[in-house]
Amino acid sequence: MVTRLAIATLALLAAAATASAQNYSHLDTVSVYPNQGTFYHDRFEGRKTASGEVFDQNKFTAAHWRIKLGTHILVTNRNTGLQVIVKVNDRCPKRGVIDLSHRAANAIGIRGCQPVTVRVLPPGYEQRCLAQDARFDSVRTRLPLPPAAAKPAAAPKPDPKPTKEPDTDPIGGYNLLLATVATHGEAFELAQRLPESHSGSLTVDTLEGGTALRLTLELHQSRADADRLRRQLRALYPQARVVMAD
């Protein structure tokens, strides 16, 4: 039988654990914190944030009541599994709420208020996020819309690829399939690894059913040239393989 003392002790321990879990230490890059995700009203556009930066709905930023300003965090929509990296540069008066810019909210399919998780990222993401706007612009223009706004998928076409490799290169040439991932966050991480000289050739599209994202370098080169590039990028993309261009 559980005694009153034991119940009281368990209650105190649970309260202490809850308090500890909500410390949002910028040094803790392991814990995942549950929050409610929402987004800024347009009336805040152009105003100064708590960090002194000017708020821009087109930047990957967020407001939180406790997380240290300047901290980079990974926000995951628990309903869709979509992820985005943002910088906390403002304060939100509501506890347990992360207020996202329109751009960040759209990236993970936030409509109104939805459950999300927040994880503090370790040092080293600062430079990645500085380049995020320019790099992610080129990637996200070809990323699929969040499920809530996605258009119905067209009926799949029969696979035109021959069962046997032709002796000569096809007219369209060959591309380099870098990787297939499950979330936008993973797609962004892999896109960040790509050398700047090849970033203009990167496309990201969704596979049938919307369950995965495919990162491809649109090369339209000979098989030998595409395979040469695959070997050059092997350390960054160990799963890369040469595929026939559509």
Give the pLDDT confidence score for residue 162 in this predicted structure: 52
- Assign residue 104 a region (left: φ > 0; alpha: ψ between -120 and 50; beta: otherwise): alpha
Do 38 and 118 belong together in one domain?
yes
Do 200 and 109 belong together in one domain?
no
DSSP alpha helix (H) spans, 124-245: 126-130, 132-140, 184-193, 223-232
pLDDT tens sequence across 176-189: 999 988 877 777 77
In this structure, is residue 202 part of a structural domain? yes
Report the C-alpha gap between 50 and 89 in whole angstroms.
6
In this structure, is residue 52 part of a structural domain? yes
In this structure, is residue 113 part of a structural domain? yes
In this structure, is residue 17 part of a structural domain? no
Do 29 and 50 belong together in one domain?
yes
Could you tell me the pTM of the whole model?
0.49
Length of the chain, please? Answer: 246
pLDDT tens sequence across 144-171: 444 444 445 555 666 555 555 555 666 6
Instruction: Residue 117: count other Cβ atoms within 10 Å of its Cβ.
Output: 18
Single out the residue of 78, 69, 86, 81 nearest to residue 34, CA to CA.
78
Do 120 and 94 belong together in one domain?
yes
Do 108 and 206 belong together in one domain?
no
**What's the structural domain count of the chain?**
2
